[in-house]
Amino acid sequence: MARPREFDEQNVVAKATHLFWCRGYNATSVRDLGAELDLKQSSLYRTFNDKRTLFLRTLDHYRATESAQAEERLSASGPSLQILREWLIWMIGHEAGRGCFVVNTATELGAADPDVRERTEAAFEGTRTTLAALLRRGVHDGELPAALDVDAAAESLFTTVLGLRVRERAGHDPGRLATAIDFAIESLAGPRALQ
C-alpha cells in the first residue's frame, strides 16, 4: 500500500515558485529544492517526475496568481491613464529586486524549451491584451486621442513594461523608473495626461 503524502502539493509549488523566481532555473538544483521545500529527493521525483516538470508547474502557478493579480489591477474601473500609472508604479515596487518571474525565465531560457516558451508567450499575450483593452477604454472615454493606433501603442507599452521589469531586477533607482513611466504615459496622451 502506498504511503500517503505528508505535504501539501500546492504549498510545495508555491515555495518552489519563490525559489525559482529568486535564483532562476539553472541556478536551482534538485538539492536546493529539497532543502527549501523540506522534502526528500525521492518525494520530489515521485510527485513531480523531475526538476523541469516542477518548474513548469511553478510557471503555471505564477500565471494563476501574480499575473492574474496584475491583469485584475489593469481591468479596474477608473480613469485609464491613472490605472495604468498606478499599475506600473506598483509593478516596479511590488517585488523589489526580483523582477517578473516570466520575464526572468524568458531571458534565462529563451525559446530553447517549447513548453517554457508556450507559457511565457501566453503570459506575455495576456499582458498585451489587457494593456490594449485599457488603451481602447482610454480612447473610448476621451482620455487618449481618437486616432491612437491602439495595437502599436500596446506593443510599445509592453516593451516598456519588459524593460522596466529588467531594470527593477537590476536594482535601478525607482525614481528613475517612475520618470520613464511618466514619459511613456505622456507619450500616449500628451503632457496633460498626468495633471
Sequential DSSP letters for 127-191: HHHHHHHHHHHHHHTTSS-TT--HHHHHHHHHHHHHHHHHHHHTT--HHHHHHHHHHHHHHHH-G
The per-residue pLDDT for 6 is 55
23: in domain: no
Q: Where residue 141 sits, what CATH number does that domain have?
A: 1.10.357.10
186: in domain: yes
How many structural domains are present in the chain? Answer: 1
The per-residue pLDDT for 103 is 94
Low-confidence ranges of the chain (pLDDT < 50): 1-4, 192-195
Name the pTM for this structure. Answer: 0.87
Domain of residue 79, residue span = 63-194
163: in domain: yes
The per-residue pLDDT for 7 is 63
